[in-house]
Structure 1
């Protein structure tokens, strides 16, 4: 089994072994409530006070408050609430407070959303003002100087979570000179990576999160400058000197304390210079693997542990998929926004071209990185580059691409090196152009199933695409010969509208996911009422897969990931051999499978089980009964390896 290389440290980190031990010790030996006055409680209180003292030294907190909480989001909420409550009290007392709530354009979304939330609930009705950044990702200090006089509260960050850009905090402080504004600095990515001496600055609030630096999730800290206004977010039992009620998370605090101890001893984590060397080696391997790569931030002003890059012609998803197949874990940006398929607002704010913000990948590691991990990461990156080149093999038959719920269909003829595109979408044009150029194909025709279209047929080698008009604005395209139509591209027409020209088992390729996620047929549509029984029992866990393969040694394991993903990791579940039929090519393969009288068992798999689920549902609907898929995909079929 391939051990994963975890390069998504800005999202979260593994837990330091010493931190695990400290948490276990707190739960087993020092499990007392620190508010209790008996000896067990006193020992817990001593632990809590010791960690706070260590954090105070490391952060240069001086006489400022330093309280433990659940993490950065709570810290941000508390800081925003504290600042805005103070502003409301001042305004009620007749004092001038300013009219702007200023936040950096590249801040984590928790900041502007918290500002908007509390501004509305407290009835302040101040104006949220977005502080622009330059092309290098740093705050526009000239713009800040123009805002400073009207600013009531300013929110920036020490280092950006997507790009690693380190803010010019001294420049921001100078721009705020003479301003009445309170100032919060998100220090989540700074802990363990930047030297901090908070009490020596005018920073009023600084939230921290333990899980970004080898502590468990659910533990964080908030620094509040001496004299800065403070309003508790949580009231109740009076813990943390009344600043944050709720029994303290002693296991988390103990674990965080172990991480802080490792920071203070200076022997556990790599120094900045060595991390910068690691970054440069990884960057060099990326340049070699992906010709044309563009790095989205200057290394000179970024954390040495973060690389943000884009590759022309490749989407974030394509790159993430091939990295994941090679067991290299990276991300497309903030983990909190990963499920939202949208360009990076951080790179958009920097004014970078849309293709760079929509295809960006973030690679980040922590200060525990070592020589062996970096060397293996570079080897895997080379493998990913080779896999993408291998995946550029000649194509033949039908391919499906989907964007925003709409399908684009491509018909390839390998012999003539020609391709026809049906219902092309602007979002896919660059990807299609890159695909054709990489394989030396020419674009024979661009066709549409809606609107006016050319009436002539399109010849692709020995195959013909024949246009059949349904009405003045709609057409369908038939692929095959007069004896047999193999595929019909029907756009958004109802399947039954193709009845005069197709057989019951012709594969109907629709124009949107609302119609079908893959393909269908007239026979499948007629049996749609029995769909529930067709789809019963299609999921296999590891044990069920083993049993099925023992019972059916002729079964085929089919990897429905893209060709480049399969090239990066060609083994199936348990290291078994597998064949590659990408989900985008399912319509081609399904036509062949359905044409055979016998139906050998097919077991589909992918990374998470989402693509393989679509594949098995499509085959079962078409009437192929001997089809299953691996539930949860390779991610859940394999034991979770330790992160590097």
Structure 2
């Protein structure tokens, strides 16, 4: 599936790994072809290989200023960390006193390889010591007072020279003075993985005992690294066997990797002709990129202080945007960045930024943009141009406003839009003909995006309504109302004061209009005493509505996907919830889409039919097989299983339904092409957001249905559930969860492209 727009890759994730420099790759290939001998062999081929290895070691010693310290080649930084920790703890164990309590210290922003390794080896060696994190301040700098207090009883201390997420560097001289004044004998490891090529190192003038390094962070291939061990530091081989590396690290040496390192060390030591930029030049590059980001995202917040960070790392967050949204945007523009640390594929909060005390939204929305010291001015210029292109796509899809941009070609909205912050949902309905908008359960985190949407689309806000008083967050309704609905009288949830009513079945319900639709207010207390459900109906010719007229039911937290709203708040009532569930049953059809305030499992929407298939408690109520007393008992028991927090949010309902995933048919590029050739009715749906689609889309995609519009797509295609739909996204993750949601609602022929465009282009 070929993309219509071919863009060169802009790689800005160097802290995760770097591309191999052409010179390093050539050296590695030459070693494989010509210097393939075993360095332990005594013939000429082996001697040449050994000479290369020793030349690389000598250059490393010169570059690091290691003096009499050992340089041992390893498979990478993780092995170097294990070697250091094992060596230190074995030696420390022999010094321990039975009547004393001990700890091992590590920086709170340290790479997870360090604390996890400490825990592992303490267990293996049967050492009783507490693994203790050293706090950091808002800049990510270690707390020296804490070190002074805890170092005297610590067996080992592990710190970083440069942090991998923020680029924050520690003042090693100052840190050394603090550590050694508190405990002159403590073993000290410094993770130097992100330091080489970015800061000056002179290890012989320090009392650092161990320092691991990794080649693939500095343009060498993966699988090669080295560790520095001070001459007076204890050492225990981590890998025993054939006695290579003078018995310090067994296993046949990675000669191609060493050849690549040798070339890189030579470049770093060279005064002329080196591709590596000076610190001053790198600082200029960072400022140019930061200025471009600020120009394109005016409200951007930089999470790292440039004063305390190496110039090659920029960590930032954009209000109202999740880290995944920015990553997907940049990926569509062929810019590679990461969400915090790239050592975990799951996008979560950054423990580094949490440790620095940054607000939760910055941690959750953090983007790390990092480049290597061999980046060029031309690459920086191209990166900045591409960032501008990406931001322009956001203006066209009304996600940011730029007064200097022509947004006449913006994507016009019509219908339902689902926006999210964490597991919380905000729903926006737009009638394009009347240019009216309705916002339900507005979240404060989405305030800027909602305002941008209204202004960019030139919409008139009819109402901003909460379905209930929210316990886990402050509503964003009042801020919207003060700006756009200052003259409107409404109740405390934002429902406009009106005398207009319609007959809905046997009830007279308050109603407001939006375009050709009508929104009905249905009181449904239970989760809270003020809970309401909002029914968006196609306006019939008469004023008498039926259940079939409801297209969307915004039930707040009364009915959740796979759950029912909790009823253990002070204002809750399981009796009221029991009656409200029956009222909802009588007010909407079994297939009307229920749009909840929370979506804990990426299911987007549901229906009564879908829920009673997995929720026996709901089924019992709606089928009149469960008495009110039985419901109260079972509901009280259910609420005892609540997980109080998901991220920074409290859970508004305990999961009771079966949330197992369906088996979805998967295509690869070849099988999909074959399927389309065999059946011309196969319809490919690109579910990326409009700005991603505009930047880079497939010529074979017949329709763009972003995840934010998926619920409307499902509603509009209720009568086409037997059609073959193939969902496609960037990596296959979003298409899979969307396919799961559609399948659960009866779309039997839905499938997706495994690996997405990333593996098929």
Same fold flag (TM > 0.5): yes
Q: Does 1:517 align with 2:517?
A: no
Aligned to 2:465: 445
Alpha-carbon separation, structure 2, partners of 1:97 and 1:45: 48
Matched, 1:485 2:550: yes
Q: Give CA-to-partner distance per residue, 1:196-216, whole Å, 9 cap, x none.
A: 111121111000011101111
| Residue 24 of structure 2: aligned partner | 19
**Greater displacement, 495-504 / 81-90:** 495-504
Q: Tell me how far apart the structure 1 counterparts of residues 686 and 738 of structure 2 sit (CA, whole Å).
A: 10
Looking at structure 1, the residues matched to 249 and 70 of structure 2 have their Cα atoms a distance apart, in angstroms, of 11
CA 1:84–1:526: 2 relative to 1, 3 Å: closer
Q: For residue 397 of structure 1, report the CA deviation from its aligned partner.
A: 2.6
Question: CA-atom RMSD, angstroms?
Answer: 3.5
Whether 2:393 is the aligned partner of 1:387: answer: yes
Structure 1 residue 283 displacement after superposition: 0.8
Asked whether 1:308 is paired with 2:434, we answer no
The 5 Å alignment of 1:170-189 reads 170-178=173-181, 179-180=183-184, 181-189=186-194
Question: Structure 2 matches for 1:99-138, cutoff 5 A?
Answer: 99-138=102-141
Task: Note closer, same or farther for the CA distance 1:128–1:555 as it changes in structure 2 (3 Å cut).
Answer: closer
Alignment match, 1:225: 230
Q: CA shift at 1:335, angstroms? A: 0.9
Alignment correspondent of 2:728: 605
- Contact 2:24–2:261 at 8 Å: present in 1 too? yes
Bigger radius of gyration, 1 or 2? 2
State how far apart, in whole Å, the 1-side matches of 2:359 and 2:613 are: 48
| More off after superposition, 587-596 vs 370-379 | 587-596
Distance 1:126 1:525 in 2: 50
1:325-474 superposed matches below 5 A:
325-342=332-349, 344-392=350-398, 395-401=413-419, 409-414=427-432, 415=434, 417-421=436-440, 429-431=444-446, 434-440=449-455, 442=461, 443-448=463-468, 457=510, 459-461=512-514, 462-466=516-520, 472-473=526-527
Which residue matches 2:297?
290
| Aligned equivalents of 1:401, 1:316: Cα separation in 2 | 14
Quote how far apart the aligned CAs of 1:161 are.
Answer: 0.8
Per the alignment, do residues 551 and 520 of structure 1 end up closer, same or farther by CA in structure 2, a change over 3 Å counting?
A: farther
Q: Are the aligned partners of 2:721 and 2:747 in contact in 1 as well (CA < 8 Å)?
A: no
Which whole-Å CA distance do the structure 1 matches of 2:218 and 2:526 have between them?
62
Q: Which range is displaced more, 48-57 or 211-220?
A: 48-57
1:168 matched to which residue of 2?
A: 171
Residue 472 of structure 1 and its aligned partner are, at CA, apart by 4.4
- Shift of residue 64 of structure 1? 0.6
Q: Residue 590 of structure 1: CA displacement? A: 2.4
Which has the bigger relative contact order, CA under 8 A and spacing at least 6?
A: 1
Q: Structure 2: which 5+ runs fail to align?
A: 1-5, 399-410, 472-491, 496-507, 539-544, 564-580, 615-661
Q: 1:214 aligns with which of 203, 216, 219?
A: 219
Comparing 616-625 and 146-155, the one that deviates more: 616-625
Over 3 Å counting, the alpha-carbon distance change for 1:322 and 1:516 in structure 2 is closer
The alpha carbon displacement at 1:364 in A equals 0.4
Are residue 631 (structure 1) and residue 637 (structure 2) matched? Answer: no
Quote the Cα distance in structure 2 between the aligned partners of 1:11 and 1:5. Answer: 14
Q: Determine the C-alpha separation between the residues in 1 that align with 2:509 and 2:50.
A: 83
- Partner Cα distance (2:421, 2:105) in 1: 36
Matched residues in 2 for 1:242 and 1:637: separation? 47
Equivalent pair of 1:8/1:365 in contact (CA under 8 Å): yes
Higher mean C-alpha deviation, range 79-88 or range 134-143: 134-143
1:236 equivalent to 2:231? Answer no
**Separation (CA, whole Å) in 1 of partners of 2:602 and 2:179:** 56
2: distance between equivalents of 1:97 and 1:254?
48
Gaps of 5+ in 1: 529-534, 639-644
**CA contact 1:394–1:439 (8 Å) conserved in 2:** no
Where in structure 2 are the equivalents of 1:79-90 lying within 5 Å?
79-90=84-95
CA positional deviation for 1:404: 6.0
What is the alpha-carbon distance in structure 1 between the residues aligned to residue 129 and residue 663 of structure 2? 56
Q: Which SS does the other structure have where 1:447 is aligned?
A: coil
Q: 1:102 to 1:391 in 2, by over 3 A?
A: same
Alpha-carbon shift at residue 45 of structure 1 (Å): 2.0
TM-score norm. by structure 2 comes to 0.74
- How many aligned residue pairs are there? 622
User: Does structure 2 retain, via aligned residues, the 8 Å contact 1:420–1:447?
Assistant: no
Distance in 2 (alpha carbons) for counterparts of 1:261 and 1:332: 33
How much has 1:289 moved relative to structure 2? 0.2
Q: Is the Cα contact below 8 Å between 2:103 and 2:131 reproduced in 1?
A: yes
In structure 2, the residue matched to 1:191 is 196
Distance 1:472 1:508, change over 3 A: closer
Give the Å deviation of 1:313. 2.1
Displacement, 1:222?
Answer: 0.5
Does residue 1:560 correspond to 2:687, yes or no?
Answer: yes
SS of aligned partner of 1:91: coil
Change (3 A) 1:450 1:99: closer
